[in-house]
Structure 1
């Protein structure tokens, strides 16, 4: 099944199109110049406006054309005005046509004016299969060489996508609910980690106080031992025996001090590990919150950050691959997947590493041999890699959204 366009482009009620246009309406004007919206049969205006322009763009150009109430009009009313404007030959229609050409300039330039029907069909099929719908749809609808049969076919495919998007929206809601539950779980885990850190910090403070007390006792013991040693030398024992006794006491005190310092260093290392773990969980919580916010604000005008290139994810759980791929697509990340050798052959890894700009792998769900192979390939090809704390969705989201700066440092 092809990748669907942006939900806000195809899930609107304005895209419930007629199943088939009348033959006389499909015949568009042929010539050497690209067609304007008013040159195209009105049957197709609804699908062009609804698919090829966002609601925000349509609202802005209608307001610019003098329709001040367009700023407060509902989306459905706005769409109806855009469809009516497309069939006219006035200032507003020219603005609409100009907006379509500017927004889809890349797709228009990609299709030569001299292309024949076979070439036009090939371009549409390749664009449709990779989910690039809006630009090629306008470019082909306004192309002077597009035959009526091609117009009917692409119109029908765009119409059917409006039905598919409804099913996809239900899946998005289910995924959003699951993400919210995972966010709550991660928040609880973060609170438990904070409590453990607080206990460890208290233990560290108590241990430092104990070390200071021991140091003070050692100083006091040395001060007390000096006159006592003089008295002992005057009263009993040979100098050699007294020296051995003092040396043994000093060694015992030094050993106790060394043991206390070692315990302090061990607690310090544990504290640093807990802090690192807590920071990782906090970054993952931020990534989950960003994911939930993005789902709730789906259809907004904010653009996703563009990553430097494809990202390769090696290892992990195969039952999560669909979720990883779906979230990567929502962030405009080209995600390559390899299970680390469980089912996928490791002979594919050199080529995949060569394609990727960044390599990720979860340290808790990948074999040692796969990790070693990935690191050797990355060093040989000069590619950065990032070990993830776990194979869960939270670690993956934190890595590709940059919620904690992780993806930005790759």
Structure 2
């Protein structure tokens, strides 16, 4: 069955006895004892009393925003579990929200418990706002909380404060409404960047898989070369044993045959020795190539881990720390690279808490700007695959003269920069210990 709850429609095959009355009221079957506050005009004083408003006394127009802003879905689900509602564990987030909005307007046990839950969760803000005695003091506290990003608790404390009038209630409601739009826009931008990073991560995974396949092939080839070299050594030892163990025969045809055989064995031994030297050289070259590939695979793994960390950070809720890498206040200079990636590189630096200065490495900007940029930066980066030799040499020389570190990046990709930031954060953590 479908039941309209003012802000949403809930589809549910079974209704719990606890919430049946709520649905009936929202459908207009039962009268509501709550006090109605019309937000369509600014006339009138909402409260006028000396006590705080109760949840069911607020306008029904405010219940959706109060429940959605001041309580999380986890809070609401746990609340209905405690009420022993059979739908609490299986209902969707939208249904849980709608059930809470329905219960917020009734002066019964669920409504009172919801009010108590809101007071308990936002006790700090309620206590702080209780010290305000005038409308202007409440408005000042509300605006200060919005500036600090402490909207949920301040919203509940403002709406229920006895000094809050119709105009302030409307101001707080409109502020929360617009913040929800801004959050939606921000989430869409984060989703777009997340998809871009996921595509890059997929490409890195494919490259790592190819490198691992090449490493496996090189290891198999090395093992085959080792077996062939061992066989050559065994053949050489056998040939030498035969040549030294051959008895001295008298002159004549038998002696001539032995000398020919000895010459053949010696020639064969020399050929085997040459092949052995060649195989040893090939083995050495293979070992060097494998070592290079292993180092490259390790670099790729570190970059993938850094990219995954960036993805996880981008997916975290807004309550997460702003600068998880602990590089707050540092200035990074990035010389070279691709212009289209600068915004994404700057986003990584901002997320780490730093500020990114850039120089295109001499493509359009003159290298005479580098001394000033190096003097402003705390550390310099440049991708070795996308920077001029002159620019990279200048950065190295200027950093050495100023006693500042510089980090050559393996590539101009985002993953290399993210891995370098992670390495800096790890070094800072070790130094702090």
Is 1:346 equivalent to 2:374 in the alignment?
yes
Show structure 1 runs of 5+ residues with no match. Answer: 1-12, 232-249, 354-358
Q: Distance in 2 between matches of 1:397 and 1:100?
A: 41
Q: Distance in 1 between matches of 2:168 and 2:382?
A: 45
8 Å Cα contact 1:21/1:43 also seen in 2: no
8 Å Cα contact 1:285/1:394 also seen in 2: yes
8 Å Cα contact 1:317/1:339 also seen in 2: no
> Deviations 1:44-86 (Å, cap 9, x if unpaired)?
2221111222223212213323433333334444323322333
Partner of 2:170: 152
8 Å Cα contact 2:215/2:290 also seen in 1: yes
Q: Distance in 2 between matches of 1:360 and 1:133?
A: 39
8 Å Cα contact 1:59/1:78 also seen in 2: yes
What is the number of residues matched between the two proteins? 354
Q: What secondary structure is seen at the aligned counterpart in 2 of 1:68?
A: coil
Is 1:138 equivalent to 2:156 in the alignment?
yes
TM-score computed with the length of structure 2 as normaliser = 0.58
Is 1:270 equivalent to 2:289 in the alignment?
yes
Partner of 1:124: 145
> Residues 221 and 58 of structure 1: is their aligned pair in 2 closer, same or farther, counting only changes over 3 Å?
same
1:208 deviation in Å? 2.1
Partner of 2:341: 320
Q: Distance in 1 between matches of 2:397 and 2:143?
A: 43
1:96 deviation in Å? 2.4
Partner of 2:413: 392
8 Å Cα contact 1:65/1:91 also seen in 2: no
Partner of 2:72: 54
Q: Distance in 2 between matches of 1:396 and 1:106?
A: 41
Q: Distance in 2 between matches of 1:317 and 1:110?
A: 51
> Residues 62 and 327 of structure 1: is their aligned pair in 2 closer, same or farther, counting only changes over 3 Å?
farther
Q: Distance in 1 between matches of 2:189 and 2:420?
A: 24
Greater CA deviation, 265-274 or 313-322? 313-322
TM-score computed with the length of structure 1 as normaliser = 0.61
Q: Distance in 2 between matches of 1:264 and 1:339?
A: 46
Among 326, 335, 345, the alignment partner of 1:309 is: 326
> Residues 274 and 409 of structure 1: is their aligned pair in 2 closer, same or farther, counting only changes over 3 Å?
farther
Show structure 2 runs of 5+ residues with no match. Answer: 1-6, 9-36, 250-268, 366-371
Greater CA deviation, 260-269 or 280-289? 280-289
Q: Provide the alpha-carbon RMSD of the alignment.
A: 5.5
> Residues 70 and 406 of structure 1: is their aligned pair in 2 closer, same or farther, counting only changes over 3 Å?
farther
1:82-97 superposed matches below 5 A = 82-97=100-115
- The structure showing larger relative contact order (alpha-carbon pairs under 8 Å, at least 6 residues apart) is 1
1:144 deviation in Å? 5.5
8 Å Cα contact 2:142/2:158 also seen in 1: no
> Deviations 1:130-163 (Å, cap 9, x if unpaired)?
xx54344334444566565444333212212333
Q: Distance in 2 between matches of 1:150 and 1:376?
A: 60
